[in-house]
């Protein structure tokens, strides 16, 4: 997979590309990530990439020409171009799974007061990481890249990603490590039993309980079995008794 990031702050990505799983994926040539300076594509003699908005208003807008040239130069036959924007559709694990199948992604980092609306003619979609506004699209670009890259085959162990929270809609079950008793806080006995069938059953129940207790809003979009529906109803019933 190749990811190209268009930004006015390419240095922002230096530590991101030199750290942990991302660095290993790059070193193993599983993925390629490059941050490109938008100003290099500007025709303005001062390399400006912003200007005042037509109709008036506060702040400056990113101009369309440098973005057009950057996208045109970087785009390939199979490219998927994404604008990071608070107006986009909210980023989810489901979207990350889908994007991990792309071979080439171009991420556009906005700045200033926004981008000339004609950018919509050059992109495939807009994505938001949440209902809030940041100073620029660099952090969202890193979030998307991280979430996508870890799902690319060979980057991390497949079994690990398959059990991630939200991978199949559900949150993950609680996890524990040594010691089994810390200041009176105990690890559930079933996890110490060595009975893998009981452990598997407990984990199935706890992923449902975790989702109900922490993110009940997710339940609407999860395709549930009859057994899971029954368990949800049981958990909700017990909560009312507390």
Active site residues: 86, 113, 150, 164
Radius of gyration of the chain (CA): 23
* Cα torsion through 143, 110, 83, 6, rounded to 10: -80
Tokens 């008036």 correspond to: 56
SS3 94: helix
CB-CB contact of 98 with 82 (8 Å): no
State both tokens at 98: 């889908």
Element (H, E) at 67: helix 64-74
Tokens 């199948």 correspond to: 101
Cα–Cα distance measured from residue 174 to residue 156, given in angstroms and rounded to the nearest whole number? 21
CB-CB contact of 108 with 82 (8 Å): yes
């Amino acid at each position: 997979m190749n990811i190209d990031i268009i930004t006015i702050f390419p240095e922002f990505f230096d530590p991101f590309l030199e750290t942990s799983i991302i660095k290993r994926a790059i070193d193993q040539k599983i993925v390629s990530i490059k941050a490109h300076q938008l100003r290099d594509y500007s025709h303005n003699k001062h390399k400006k990439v912003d200007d005042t908005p037509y109709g008036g208003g506060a702040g400056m807008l990113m101009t369309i020409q440098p973005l057009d040239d950057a996208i045109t130069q970087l785009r390939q036959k199979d490219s998927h171009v994404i604008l990071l924007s608070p107006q986009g559709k909210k980023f989810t694990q489901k979207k990350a799974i889908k994007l991990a199948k792309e071979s080439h992604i171009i991420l556009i980092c906005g700045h200033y007061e926004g981008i000339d609306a004609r950018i919509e003619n050059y992109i495939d979609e807009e994505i938001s990481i949440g209902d809030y506004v940041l100073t620029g699209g660099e952090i969202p670009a890193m979030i998307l890249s991280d979430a996508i890259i870890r799902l690319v085959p060979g980057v991390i162990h497949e079994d690990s990603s398959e059990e991630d929270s939200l991978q199949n809609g559900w949150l993950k079950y609680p996890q524990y490590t040594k010691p089994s008793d810390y200041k009176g806080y105990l690890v559930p006995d079933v996890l110490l039993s060595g009975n893998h069938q009981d452990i598997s059953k407990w984990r199935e129940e706890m992923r449902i309980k975790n989702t109900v207790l922490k993110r009940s809003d997710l339940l609407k979009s999860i395709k549930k079995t009859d057994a899971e529906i029954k368990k949800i109803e049981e958990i909700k019933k017990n909560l009312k008794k507390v």
